[in-house]
Chains A and B, each alone.
Chain A
């Protein structure tokens, strides 16, 4: 803060992990970010210090395994308290991923992918935008509501390609044989994420994600209510 008033305020992040080395790692990544987009405002071994929600915490980075126990219930209670929760875990199994999303998590990071994606995830989640890591893509692939294109984009992303490589492998639907753009790929993936959010528990972060998706033109307002009627067809 304090510099150019036009610069956006850094994202306030609380890191909850029972291993100090992880907290130090996140601090190091935040420090290495060229534009200093993230500031660690609070750290701790348990999420108790986050209830009620401290005003300067924008995003909570929560280790899913605290003291050897999966804390999915804490994901739910933090989300209910209005927090945006990013789950951080050594496990990337699709069932754990979807359980975390069901509990209200905004994003999912495995420790493998954290170095590459941690800061970007925190920033995206702080602005209520979807951020799909590869592990999260794996958890979403089984979703029957995905369109063929969304699934294809998610699958290629899950396999480990970067967005540009995914784009090169997907051709436009108009039959021209031309590759789609990187932005279109991101749109497919983000739309898939928003679809997934439409059915979740009623937590503030989920409504904020949907509202932002409408604002960004990713989905139309009528899409949000449309979920149930689509399912009942």
Chain B
């Protein structure tokens, strides 16, 4: 009974939101159909069976219907999909019970004791209830209702009760009960598809909103990187482009070298490496080494996680200093839980004062010291942060 049918359009694509919403709405309808079916079977069919004697056939049919009804109810309440073979077997039991009772019922077909054909539809409804993705669930159930009615009409004719009163009574029962069952079943599908559509719409809206938010964040990050890059290289490039700066001028070349070091640092900023700070400093060192500057990088202490904005402020002035070095530069990173200190000591390659700013990125928690004396440049950036321990 628990074997799930592999229907082609099984709605496994439902999102979590859809599933939650449709489950909540479906649970109410499921309880309603179980109460109607089992309630009728207990309140009407049991007294009728007892009133029959109890007749052994009548009792057997009642027990068989009970078994099918209880199994069907469990499936309905737990959301289990009944396999087609089990559903057909259940329907066969119900139709057979209905036919057997018609055949043996003493007196009228409409007697109190001939209860089976009246309840068969309700119990069958349990078997048809959970059919997610079924193409025509209402029609399949309509088929059962029709089969049950056909058996009853045949029995009516066979018993010779098919006069005007008998046919009118039959029509009344079949039409009234069948209409109720079909309305409940069709309503259930309508409700579910409406709820699912609502949930799907809401999920789609949320996705759109999230995508918009992500796009906005990406835009802000891009703007941020763009403005940093512009601060690093924009002025030199503009000057070179419009001819205000002469590439033959050593101070211009110096500024271009500093800009290159900063751009290189920005490029490496998003690299996924264990020590991004040292990685970025090495990138600046790399640019200087290509100019023939001997650069050493020395690190002491484990590096804490340094936020991006702080990292930029920590590496900006050192990148400038490395770019300014003429023959040698020493980069050091000393860190402990409370602070990270980056320093560059190097020799200046030009004797005239530098016109470009040593610091283009600032951060409130980063202290920058820049010192030039004789031929030596010393730059130190220091980030102090209180480790997050409760007092």
Contact = CB atoms under 8 A, between A and B. Distances in A.
B236 to A, nearest CB: 28
Contacts of A168: 373
Interface in B318-342: 330, 332, 334, 336, 341
B300 interface: yes
B378 interface: yes
B343 A160 contact: yes
Contacts of A159: 330, 332, 343, 345, 378, 380
Q: Chain B: interface secondary structure?
A: strand
Interface in A131-158: 134-135, 138-139, 141-142, 155, 158
A142 B345 contact: no
Contact of B298 (A92, A142, A161, A169): A92
A165 interface: yes
B296 A94 contact: no
A112 interface: yes
Interface string B352-391: 0000000000000000000101001010100000000000
Nearest to A162: B376
Nearest to A154: B334
Interface residues of A, number: 17
A135 B332 CA distance: 11
Q: How large is the interface on B (under 10, 10 to 19, 20 to 34, 35 or more residues)?
A: 10 to 19
Q: Chain A: interface secondary structure?
A: helix
Contacts of B341: 155
B300 A141 contact: yes
Nearest to A137: B300
Contacts of A135: 298
Contacts of A165: 373, 376, 378
Interface of A: 92, 94, 112, 134-135, 138-139, 141-142, 155, 158-161, 165, 168-169
27 contacts: A92-B298, A94-B300, A94-B301, A134-B298, A134-B330, A135-B298, A138-B298, A141-B301, A141-B334, A142-B300, A142-B336, A155-B334, A155-B341, A158-B298, A158-B300, A158-B332, A158-B334, A159-B330, A159-B332, A159-B345, A159-B378, A159-B380, A160-B343, A161-B378, A165-B376, A168-B373, A169-B371
